[in-house]
Structure formats: C-alpha cells, structure tokens
Amino acid sequence: MKAKMNLLLLINSFSLMVSPLFAQDSSIIAEGAELQLVVDGYDFTEGPSADKNGDVFFTDQPNDQILKYDVETNSVSVFMEGAGRANGLYFDNENTLIACADEEFQLVRITSDKDIKVLVEDFEGKDLNGPNDLWIDEKGGIYFTDPYYQRPYWDRSSPDLESQNVYYLAPGAKSLIPVADDLVQPNGIIGTPDGKTLYVADIGDKKTYSYSISEDGSLSNKTLFVEMGSDGMTLDNKGNLYLTGDGVTVFNQKGEQIKHIPVDANWTANVTFGGKNEQTLFITAMDALYSLDMNVEGVRWK
C-alpha cells in the first residue's frame, strides 16, 4: 500500500488547504456541519462500504484488517483479521460483503461469520494484477478494476497480464469478461442505481470516464466525464459524483465541479455514504476515517 500511496502522490502533487466547510457553498452539506474525525491510528484506510443497517466497513490493508463502524454505538471495532489484504469493499444485494483481496489476486465473498469464498482469482489462467475497487449492479453482477500496484507482500515483481482492465463477473459466472481494456490504470468505480451508467477513474491518466451499461453487462459509449482521476468514488441521490485524492471533489451530472471538501491528510483514498438513511458521508484518508453530515443521501439501499 505504501508503494501505491507514493505513486499516487507522485501523480497528483496537490497542495492541501484546510478551511471551514461553511465558508464554501454548502448546499449538499448539512447546515453547520464540519468534517469529524471518527477514528485514526491505522496505517492506510481504504474501501469504505455501508451495509443495510448503515454500519460502515473499511480496510487497513497494511495490517490486513477489515474494520467496522457501528452506527448505533458510534464505535469502531475489528471485524476481521487475515482478510486476504482486502482493499475495496462492497455489499452485494443480499447484504453480504464482497472484497477485492489482492494478496492472492482474488475477488472474495465474506459472510457475517467470516467465512471466505473465492469468486475469481485469474483471467484465462493468468493471475490478476490485483483487484482494487468494485461496484455491484442490481442483477448481482460485479464490476471491478484491476490495476497493478507492486505490493511488498508479493513474491512476483511484474504482472502476468499485459493490460490493466475493468472486468465484469456476471451473476453465477466463474469466468471474467473484460469490459474496458484501453485504460492506463483504472481505479475508482461506481454505477448509477438504475444500472445504466458506470463511472471509472483512470488514475494513471488523470481522467474519469462514463460508460453506458448494456443488458448483457458490456460497456459502450465511453465518454470523458472530467479531467481528473480518482482513487475511490461514490454517488448521491442527486446524481453528483464524488472523487477522491486531494480531499473530496464533487461534480454534478454535467461534469461541473460544485464542491471541494478539504481533508487534512496527504491523500484521501475513498468515500461512501452510510449511517442512518445514508445521510452521512464517510471518508477514508491515510490513517483515519472521517464523517460529514449531508443534505443529500446515498443511493445504495433505497
């Protein structure tokens, strides 16, 4: 993860400005709300995803942990250790956790009892680069990005695959379908709740694209959305897209920037909505998890 962080910092040399959120246009942010530190002290937080209850699960990949923020008790505990170096997380339609576990280049399902089932671990007999982030459509099909970031816990020093792709795993399928193979280094990914549009960040080329999703899960109509890459991303119920890196930058459906949420950290990795009624934005940045009360809501469990 440190190798990934250093690369991202090299690609995006941002100067961070910490200013009160109320000094900006706060139409999407709850009145008077300020960024709150939920918990810190980790090595590198990533992959936040909320379950149906609004509890937020996130990862500390260097320490091979999945953490859980409990919305009722406002507390954080270790959900699981030894999670295959999980990075990106997402709950499927049955409220079961799916993880990009790049220790063995796998996509896995993790039950509430912490049983792990490997969903996929290769493409045409070759090891994946390292599944990074994912989104699950209304049918249960899984889209995920597979960039290559050299990890210190790997024996290998180069990828088996020639390209860094976005893949689709159809419901019940065991084989992957590459749906985008012309990106430099895909990373953040999220789809609209109607299942018609997929956003993919090509962090290696500092761009984010939108795609039309076909009935069979394939992608078409690749369109440049913004000239900005992203580590992780999410959507709100107004269709605004949240990108990460230098804090959180929010764009409307036209690709116009409408908000920048500064975070006092060298790198902001990922973001999701959670809490009661999905009205809280949760942000993973460096060693910490932050929260921010919002006027808009998430779209995962509506």
Q: Assess whether pLDDT exceeds 60 at residue 89.
A: yes
How much is the pLDDT for 30? 96
Q: Assess whether pLDDT exceeds 70 at residue 11.
A: no
The percentage of residues in the chain with a pLDDT greater than 70, rounded to a whole number, is 91
Higher-pLDDT residue of 4 and 176 is 176
**C-alpha 262, offset from chain centre:** 18
How much is the pLDDT for 5? 47
Work out the average pLDDT over 120-141. 97
Q: Name the pLDDT band for 12 (thresholds 50, 70, 90).
A: very low
Work out the average pLDDT over 138-147. 97
Q: pLDDT of 68-77, one tens digit each?
A: 999 999 999 9
Q: Name the pLDDT band for 302 (thresholds 50, 70, 90).
A: confident
Q: Name the pLDDT band for 287 (thresholds 50, 70, 90).
A: very high
How much is the pLDDT for 17? 37
Q: Name the pLDDT band for 10 (thresholds 50, 70, 90).
A: very low
How much is the pLDDT for 104? 95
Tell me which long-range contacts 105-112 makes (C-beta under 8 A, separation of at least 24): 105/129, 105/130, 105/131, 106/131, 107/131, 107/134, 107/142, 107/144, 107/169, 108/84, 110/66, 110/80, 110/83, 110/86
Q: pLDDT of 159-184, one tens digit each?
A: 999 999 999 999 999 999 999 999 99
Work out the average pLDDT over 121-136. 97
How much is the pLDDT for 13? 39
Six-digit token pair at 155? 């024996």
- For the sheet containing 166-169, what is the strand order? 133-136, 142-145, 166-169, 177-180
Q: Assess whether pLDDT exceeds 60 at residue 26.
A: no
How much is the pLDDT for 19? 37
Third-level CATH fold of 2-293: Neuraminidase (2.120.10)
Q: pLDDT of 180-197, one tens digit each?
A: 999 999 999 999 999 999
Rounded-to-integer distance, Cα 131 and Cα 87, Å = 8
User: Could you tell me the pTM of the whole model?
Assistant: 0.91
Residue whose pair of structure tokens reads 């020093």 in the numeric block: 157
Q: Name the pLDDT band for 301 (thresholds 50, 70, 90).
A: confident
Work out the average pLDDT over 78-93. 96
Any bridge partners for residue 220, and if so which? 212
Work out the average pLDDT over 89-97. 97
Work out the average pLDDT over 274-295. 97
What DSSP letter does each residue of 245-278 carry, written as one string? Answer: ESEEEEE-TTS-EEEEE--SSS-EEEEEEESGGG
Q: pLDDT of 224-261, one tens digit each?
A: 999 999 999 999 999 999 999 999 999 999 999 999 99
Amino acid code (one letter) for 265:
A
Q: Name the pLDDT band for 2 (thresholds 50, 70, 90).
A: very low
